[in-house]
Structure formats: structure tokens, C-alpha cells
Amino acid sequence: MKKVRIGVVGLGRLGYRHAENIANITRHAELSAVCSIDDQELAIARKELDVRHCYNDFQTMLDQCELDAVAIVSSSDQHAPQTLHALEKGLHVFCEKPTGISHEECKAVEQAVNNYPHLVYMPGFMRRYDPSYAYAKKKIDEGYIGKPILFRGYSVDPESSIEGALKYAASSAGQFLDMAVHDIDLARWFLGAEPRSVYAIGGCFAHPEYEQYGDGDNVAALMQFDNSSMAFFLAGRTAPHGYNVETEIIGTKATLRIAAVPQKNMVELIDPTGVRQECSQTFQERFQEAFVNEMQEFVDCIREGRKPEITAGDGTMSTFIAELATKSFKQNELIKIEN
Ligand code: NAI
């Protein structure tokens, strides 16, 4: 098969990075078109990425450009409708998290994915493609930790990026769906189970602006899964030191920790104040390898006629659980999940 022709929609913080990776790194792929409602972003992409076909309307891109696939990296509320349009057009779809901003939207996506079994649909939960997380999964599957007891996931954005976070707070559907959704996906993946109850709390500790969305700047949730294992999540926007994503999986025989210190690299700085390591500052820096790996997997699946391990159903479950956590937070009550 010749190169997979991909159109990227959304050229913001992450969309531009995906477009750049497709143009410069992903093997057997071509950045054929880009789409954004922001003309300035389109002008930058045309100049920097040498992409000729630039659109400010998604449907026009689908109608006018010869594509094999789309990468959807627009605002979260656009994911499900754009996925449905692309599948109807016969295109393979990579879609950033979340799959949709409601359970109903995700179910519609899942249904459409089932209607087009010859097309590849891949939800973008890139942590599964980070080498450290993939290694941890392998160890768990080999039985190294024994029976899983607890998953603990912290995902806290740096305070330095709060301005941008506040700008898209209205369309993000809240911290559980926007931030904790990664840890929800990881917990299901690592624990090999589904939650049966959730209790969430949180607050506005530094940014009362979140109150208008019924949200907090830091939220937490406790869940019990149907194999009795437990999970604790913290999602927030106020890490003073940098981009703080850390994960722990405790089992009956061993514990795994991933990035317990959010270090930028292996360098230690030694000076009159002491010895220290710098922190990674952005998601793009911490997970660049994972973003590259997941896009490569998407392209390889298309070329090899196979499906990725992660499914539309995984996307649906993550949104569903995030929605229940949000409901628990708003109503301050434990929610039992019917199977
Ligand atoms: P952003 O706000 O920086 O960019 C959004 C982009 O979408 C802009 O280019 C905007 O012009 C475009 N857009 C919005 N509506 C559109 C429409 N109707 N048609 C065409 N383009 C449209 O947002 P950011 O941070 O880049 O996030 C984008 C998506 O990626 C979000 O859904 C977010 O959840 C996800 N994301 C995932 C991350 C991960 O760790 N996997 C990290 C950051 C974001």
C-alpha cells in the first residue's frame, strides 16, 4: 500500500504536534491536509509543515481532499460528530481522547464503528503507547505483581498553563473527562476489571473560575472494581513544579511505580543550593514518544488490515466512568454502577 494520506483537524496545543509528527516522523504516512477554525494556525501549518491543502471547515476537507484517514484533534465536543462524518465518508479515524463528551455520543460512535468493520477506529489514549506504561502492563500480565490491589494515578497540569486551561474549561466537560480520563483508561487496562462504585470529591483551591462550570481545579475519586481491586485518582491544574503524571499499581506480590518523580531527564544539577533534577513541564515533552508510537500503530493497522488493541468500547467506558465521577462530585454521593 502506498502512503496513508491523513487529514488532521485541530491545530492547537496537541493537533499541531500530531500534524508535525505525521509530516516528519510517522513512517508510511503523509500529512495531506489540515483543518482548523483558526486562520492563523492554518497559515503557520502551511508555512512550517509545507501542507498545501488547508481548510477552515471539516466537511469541506472531507468533500474536497483525497484522504485515507483523519486524525481528530479538535475540541472535545467536536470529536463524536466529526468521527461520524469521517466514517460515513469511508475514512479511517484516529480520535484524541475523549471519544465523546457523553455516554450517548460514545455509544453512537461505537455503533458507527461496528457498521464499518473494514475501517480502523482508534481512540487516542497515548499512555498505553508510552514505553514505561507498556512495560508495566507486560509485567502485570506476566503475573509479576500478583493480584492487583490498588491503582493510584495523579494527573496534574502545571500552574503555568492555567490560562490556556481556563480558556477551554467550558468545552472540556470537566476535570474527570478531560484529565482523569487517562487514568481511568489505565486503571481498567492494568486492573483488568470494570468499576462497580465511585465516590468523588474536589474543590477550587486556587482558581474559583472553575466554580461556574460546576468543576474544581483539583478533583479526586475513589473507585472499587468488580474484581475487588481499588483505584484512587487525582486530577488537577495547579502543580507548581511542572507536568505531574505519576502512577502506582500495588499488587499482592510487588508494586510498580511509573514516573513517581516527574523528572525531565536523567541529569542531576549540582550547585551551591544542593542536588536536584528538573521536572518535565508539558504533556508534549513527557509523552512525545507515546504520541509518535500511537500514530505509527494507527498507520500500521491501516496498512496491515488489522485493528488496534484499544477499541471504541474502551473510549465509551472511559467517558461513562468519568461522567459518573463528575456526577458523584456534583452530588456528593457514592454511585453504584450497574453491570
Ligand atoms: P486547543 O484548544 O489548543 O485546540 C483546539 C483546535 O481545534 C484548534 O485548532 C481549533 O481551531 C480546532 N477546532 C475547534 N473546533 C473546530 C471545528 N469545528 N472544526 C475544525 N477545527 C476546530 O486544544 P488542544 O489542547 O490541542 O486539545 C485538542 C484535543 O486533544 C482535546 O479534545 C483534548 O482533550 C485532546 N488532548 C489530548 C491530550 C492527551 O494527553 N492525549 C493532551 C491535550 C489535549
The predicted pLDDT at position 1 comes to: 67
Ligand 1 pocket test, pick from 96, 287, 289, 294 with the greatest ligand atom count within 8 Å of Cβ, gives 96
Does this model's pTM top 0.85? My answer is yes
Residue 150, pLDDT above cutoff 70: yes
Sign of CA dihedral 315, 321, 324, 330: negative
The closest alpha carbon to 220, from 127, 329, 101, belongs to 329
CB of 128 closer than 6 A to ligand 1? no
The identity of residue 172, as a single letter, is S
Cell numbers for 263, please give them.
523528572
Calpha distance 67→61 (Å, rounded): 9
- pLDDT tens-place string over residues 192-234: 999 999 999 999 999 999 999 999 999 999 999 999 999 999 9
In the predicted model, what is the mean pLDDT of residues 6-21? Answer: 97
| Average pLDDT for the chain | 97
Contact 238, 217 (CB under 8 A): yes
In the predicted model, what is the mean pLDDT of residues 311-316? Answer: 98
Confidence tier at 172 by pLDDT (50, 70, 90): confident
Burial code of 13-33, b = ≥16 C-beta within 10 A, e = fewer? ebbbbbbbbbbeebeebbbbb
Ligand 1 pocket test, pick from 49, 59, 73, 295 with the greatest ligand atom count within 8 Å of Cβ, gives 73
The predicted pLDDT at position 168 comes to: 85
303 CA distance to ligand 1 centroid (A)? Answer: 26
Position of cell 485541530?
A: 10
Calpha distance 231→187 (Å, rounded): 7
7 CA distance to ligand 1 centroid (A)? Answer: 14
In the predicted model, what is the mean pLDDT of residues 234-242? Answer: 97
Got the DSSP string for 308-328? -SS-HHHHHHHHHHHHHHHHH
Look at ligand 1, atom 32, and give the residue with the nearest C-alpha: 76
The closest alpha carbon to 35, from 18, 87, 293, belongs to 18
CB of 166 closer than 6 A to ligand 1? no
Confidence tier at 35 by pLDDT (50, 70, 90): very high
